[in-house]
Amino acid sequence: MSDCIFCKIVEGQLPCNSVYEDDEVLAFHDIRPFARVHFLIIPKAHIATLADAEPAQERLLGKMLLLAPRLAKEQGLEAGFKTLVNTGRGGGQEVFHLHMHVFGGGDPVRPV
Ligand code: 5GP
Ligand code: ZN
């Protein structure tokens, strides 16, 4: 997807402050963090929204979920964190490349 900013980050055409990378997944700090720690976990493959994910991507989605606690701990969120996947315009999604927000480090009820 040539016009997708997260694909450009995956391809190295745009910079990011990465926290994890493997052949299928990339995680990087959000450019406008809304908590002390706020990063995004994305698949390297372009999947526009969670609603576009397919059964064949079940393992990839599970991998993203299982990475969240591991990376959150590495980023200093030992006490816990929040996850968020905005899906579609009605869900407030702004970047149409699937991503999971992982954030925390402030007030546990209202970390924003
Ligand atoms: P959404 O509303 O789509 O769930 O969230 C998109 C997130 O991507 C926002 O929190 C926004 O700050 C972040 N974001 C948008 N563009 C960039 C970028 O170029 N680099 C990084 N690191 N984050 C971005
Ligand atoms: Zn993309």
CATH of the domain at 46: 3.30.428.10
Name the CA dihedral angle for 15, 63, 87, 106, rounded to a multiple of 10 degrees.
-70
Task: Give the ligand at the shortest distance from the Cα of 95.
Answer: 1
Provide the residue range defining the domain that includes 92.
5-104
- Tell me if 111 is assigned to some domain: no
pLDDT (0 to 100) of residue 2: 73
Q: Which class for 7: exposed (0-12), middle (13-18), buried (19 or more C-beta within 10 A)?
A: middle
The sheet with strand 100-104 has its strands ordered as: 18-21, 25-29, 37-43, 100-104, 82-84
- Tell me if 109 is assigned to some domain: no
48 CA to centre of ligand 2 in angstroms: 7
What's this model's pTM, rounded to 2 decimal places? 0.95
- Tell me if 97 is assigned to some domain: yes
- Tell me if 63 is assigned to some domain: yes
> What are the average pLDDT values for consecutive 10-residue runs of the chain, which has 112 residues?
91 98 98 96 98 98 98 96 97 98 80 54
pLDDT (0 to 100) of residue 109: 59
For residue 75, what is the DSSP state?
T
95 CA to centre of ligand 1 in angstroms: 6
- Tell me if 110 is assigned to some domain: no
67 CA to centre of ligand 1 in angstroms: 19
Please state the domain count of the chain: 1
> Using CA atoms, how far apart are residues 91 and 15, in angstroms rounded to an integer?
27
Residues lining ligand 1, Cβ inside 6 A: 5, 14, 16, 28, 30-32, 86, 92-95
Best CA proximity match to 45, nearest among 37, 53, 34? 53
- Tell me if 112 is assigned to some domain: no
